[in-house]
Amino acid sequence: MAAVANPDSLATSRPSPPQLGLVGPVRNQRRLAELQLVLKSLGIEHGISAREGGFYFVVDAHKVERTQRALVEYEQENQNWPPRPARRDRLAYSGSPRLSFFWAALLGIVFLFSGPVATRTAWFMDGISSSERVMHGEAWRTVTALTLHADAAHLLGNVAVGGVFLWAASARLGYGRAALFTLLGGTVGNLANAVAHRVMHAPHSSLGASTAVFATVGLLVGTQVKVSKENGSKKWTDRVGPWVGGAALLGMLGASAQADLWAHFYGLAAGAALGLVASTSSVANTQKSWVQPAYAAATVGILGAAWALAFAMPPV
């Protein structure tokens, strides 16, 4: 063991105080508590000093660099946490209860004059969608059949369900476009149904607004595809979700024993195609004051012209 030159000096010497360093600042106490947990988990002893500009961690000088590196790495790993909530679908228009009321009034007035199908009034004779008659030139039947119903229960079901879907579609497209595209989708659905049965040599007749109701569902499917794309949805589930939802509604609402499943399917498909087309239009253009009334007027015009032809033209 080495000799000590001055043993008394050992009794009087004191260890020099440790050199300290500051790491910061941290602006608020909540963030400070979070970062304290980070340093504790890494075993870095520290104190807290409140100074002008915020709080500082007080650590041994030789641990300053390690402390800074640990906090920087934590910031980088958690810069996207918590994840931002997905942007909600901002509807371009306010939903129109008036459109739902018009829908109910239109179907109710026609039923008031036509009565149930068992009465076999002229409304049914001239307006029902018959595949044979449609393919022989009476194309107006694809429109007029949408306003006819077998009985009061049939009517009320389509009024209630269709009114809800039309309100939702009007919030996406505006009341005029929602009305016209619903009518067009239902018309195309009836036409496709008539053509398909004609090709299969299977005479077929159909009536009811449910084909138009599924056209409205299709509009919601088509427009949702555009919304999902604008929101940056990249998962395949986000892309196919609207289509699966439309198919599920078809199964739940449109596949009963009395329902015309193929007419519902064609209406859904036609509506979805129209929804995709409608989504390409600029919202700014469709919000001009004259646009929605013009579409609404076209809807009423097509319905009026179809019924005028039904009563005026002799059957082929």
- Domain with residue 56: its CATH number is 3.30.70.1530
| Two structure tokens written together for 77 | 């790993």
Does the pLDDT at position 185 exceed 90?
yes
Q: State the pLDDT confidence band at 111, using cuts at 50, 70 and 90.
A: very high
If asked whether residues 73 and 103 sit together in one domain, one would say no
Mean pLDDT estimate for the chain = 83
| Residue 88 belongs to a domain | no
Residue 10 domain flag = no
**Quick one: pLDDT at residue 1?**
38
Residue 5 pLDDT grade (very low, low, confident, very high; cuts 50, 70, 90): very low
Segment 147-157 shows an average pLDDT of 94
Cis before 25? omega within 30: yes
Instruction: Name the band, by pLDDT with cuts 50, 70 and 90, for residue 271.
Output: very high
Crossing angle for the helix pair 236-253 and 210-230, to the nearest 10 degrees? 170
* CATH number of the domain where residue 286 is located: 1.20.1540.10
144/258 same-domain check: yes
Domain total in the chain = 2
Q: Tell me, yes or no, whether 304 lies in a domain.
A: yes
Distant-in-sequence, close-in-space partners of 32: CB < 8 Å, separation ≥ 6: 26, 48, 55
Beta strands in the chain, from DSSP E residues, in sequence order: 20-26, 47-51, 54-60, 129-130, 205-206
Band of residue 2 on the pLDDT scale cut at 50, 70, 90: very low
Mean pLDDT of the region 182-192: 96
218 and 252, same domain (yes or no): yes
23 in Cβ contact with 55 (< 8 Å): no
| Cβ–Cβ < 8 Å for 195, 135 | yes
For residue 32, name the pLDDT band (cuts at 50, 70, 90): confident
Does residue 143 sit within a domain? yes
Q: Does residue 7 form part of some domain?
A: no
Does residue 152 carry a pLDDT above 80?
yes
Shared domain for 69 and 130, answered yes or no, is: no
* 130 strand-pairing partners: 205
Q: For residue 233, what pLDDT is reported?
A: 53
**Model pLDDT for residues 281-299, shown as the tens digit of each residue:** 766 566 678 889 999 999 9
The percent of residues in the chain predicted with pLDDT above 90, rounded, is 45
Residue 270, pLDDT > 80, answer yes
SS3 content of the chain, % helix, strand, coil (to 5): 65, 5, 30
What is residue 228's predicted lDDT score, i.e. its pLDDT? 57
Q: What is the pLDDT of residue 211?
A: 94
Q: Supply the pLDDT for residue 70.
A: 86
Whether the per-residue pLDDT at 267 is higher than 90: the answer is: yes
pLDDT score of 87 more than 60: no
Whether the CB-CB separation of 95 and 216 falls below 8 Å is answered with no
Question: ∠161-291-190 over CA atoms, to 5°?
Answer: 40
Range of the domain at 173: 97-312
pLDDT at res. 64 = 87
Dihedral class, residue 89 (left if φ above 0, else alpha if ψ from -120 to 50, else beta) = beta
- Whether the pTM exceeds 0.75: the reply is no
Is residue 46 assigned to a domain?
Answer: yes
Q: Are 165 and 216 in contact (CB under 8 A)?
A: yes
Same domain, 229 and 169: yes
Same domain, 189 and 73: no
User: Which residues touch 109 (CB under 8 Å, ≥6 apart)?
Assistant: none
Contacts of 302 (CB under 8 A, 6+ apart): 143, 180, 183
Q: Please report which confidence band the pLDDT of residue 260 belongs to, taking 50, 70 and 90 as the band edges.
A: confident
117 and 160 belong to one structural domain: yes
Tell me whether residue 89 is in a domain. no
> Pick the residue with more confidence: 238 or 246?
246
Residue 182 binned pLDDT confidence (cut-offs 50, 70, 90): very high
Residue 6 lies in a domain: no
| Owner of token pair 């209860």 | 97
For residue 59, the SS3 value is strand
Indicate if 194 and 235 belong to the same structural domain.
yes
* Residues 305 and 247 reside in one and the same domain: yes
The answer to whether residues 129 and 270 belong to one domain is yes
Q: Which of 35-44, 45-54, 85-94 has the lowest mean pLDDT?
A: 85-94
Strands 205-206 and 129-130: antiparallel
Res. 94 pLDDT band, cuts 50 70 90:
confident
Structure confidence by residue, pLDDT tens digits, 125-135: 999 999 999 99
Question: Do residue 143 and residue 243 come from a single domain?
Answer: yes
**Same-domain pairing of 175 and 271:** yes
Query: Pick the residue with more confidence: 170 or 62?
Result: 170
pLDDT at 274: 94
